[in-house]
Structure 1
Amino acid sequence: MSDITKIAELTRGIKFAMVTFVNHEGHLHSAPMTTQDGDFNGTVWFIGSKDSDLVRSIPGNAQVNLGYSDPAGHNYVSINGVAELVDDKAKLDELWSEGYNAFFEQGKEDPRIQLIKVIGNGAQYWEGDGRMVSIIKMTKAAITGATAKLGETEGVKL
């Protein structure tokens, strides 16, 4: 399995990513963003607002980190990359869903809409064994004094 395929597998179905960026004051800040449907291929797209701190920060520092969490499956993914502000009507048409009308009064024609493209540099993932297996391993470790190995972690270059 390729690294990109592994990241796609672990992030599939996770609806939100926490996007961490450096704000205009030089501080780390995070914002939840809706993940677009489709398999990860090294690039992640978001629909944001030109009024947001995230969008305003990208021209000054395009480095971002995307955090994905699947607590039920005990899987976590962190993708670091470079964000880019994109104006592309065809891409907006592809990504748009009616749910965005709650954020943009003029729908898809709202002038505040900003596409954000994140090109991944690398990723780190933690893949758990599932809840029951983890409980059993932790119980065994507590009884025996051994260290529990709860899944696997791997760093990948994208």
Structure 2
Amino acid sequence: MSREEAVQRVAALIKGIKFCMLVTQTDQGRLHSRPVTTQEQDFDGDLWFIGGKDTEWVHDISQRPEINLAYAQPDGQNYVSITGRARLVEDRAKLEEVWSDFYKAYFPEGIDDPNVQLIHVDTHGAELWESSGKLASAFALAKGLVTGERGDMGSNETVSLE
């Protein structure tokens, strides 16, 4: 699969998922996961987030930039795990592009709040789990319970985004 095809597959699966879980490594070497807001942009292989300069996850990124992002769409039974390298960016034009009034809840001074930090994730790859549909998955599960045979629960693959 070409990079362009992989990007399109990932884009289709994460489109419309407002939040994902971001995993960083702490100073103590532990993994820490927290929800972050995905920007409403078409996925092109890069992801953008806004965080607070004073937060633990922004500190973690500054020290250990390799991260994981976990997207889940339980209704469609589709899941995506993305690996990448995050970096802290100072780019007013990009910040204006991704900013929404939603962030005023976190940054009282708005886009000019000195605590606003733009984060860019250069993605490496992704693992995808796609369901064959709720009804088909339920049937495959029931069939497997009755027959002991593994049914078609959908597909799973790893793609490169580099």
Deviation at 1:5, TM superposition (A): 0.3
Render the CA deviation track for 1:32-86: whole Å, top value 9, x for unaligned. Answer: 1100012211100000000111111112110000000000000000000000000
Render the CA deviation track for 1:6-44: whole Å, top value 9, x for unaligned. Answer: 000000000001000001221100111100012211100
Matched, 1:39 2:50: no
Q: 1:145 aligns with which of 138, 148, 155?
A: 148
Alignment partner, residue 59 of structure 1: 62
Q: 2:52 aligns with which of 22, 25, 49?
A: 49
Alignment partner, residue 18 of structure 1: 21
Matched, 1:122 2:97: no
Distance (whole Å) between structure 2 residues aligned to residue 115 and residue 148 of structure 1: 44
Alignment partner, residue 101 of structure 2: 98
Distance (whole Å) between structure 1 residues aligned to residue 74 and residue 147 of structure 2: 27
Matched, 1:133 2:162: no
Q: Unaligned regions of 5+ residues in structure 2, if any?
A: none
Deviation at 1:121, TM superposition (A): 0.6
TM-score computed with the length of structure 1 as normaliser: 0.97
Further displaced range: 137-146 or 32-41: 137-146
Distance (whole Å) between structure 1 residues aligned to residue 61 and residue 140 of structure 2: 43
Deviation at 1:96, TM superposition (A): 0.7
Distance (whole Å) between structure 2 residues aligned to residue 153 and residue 146 of structure 1: 18
Q: Secondary structure at the match of 1:21?
A: strand
Q: 2:33 aligns with which of 6, 9, 30?
A: 30
Q: Secondary structure at the match of 2:39?
A: coil
Q: Secondary structure at the match of 1:24?
A: coil
TM-score computed with the length of structure 2 as normaliser: 0.94
Identity of aligned pairs, percent? Answer: 44
Distance (whole Å) between structure 2 residues aligned to residue 148 and residue 38 of structure 1: 36
Distance (whole Å) between structure 2 residues aligned to residue 24 and residue 51 of structure 1: 15
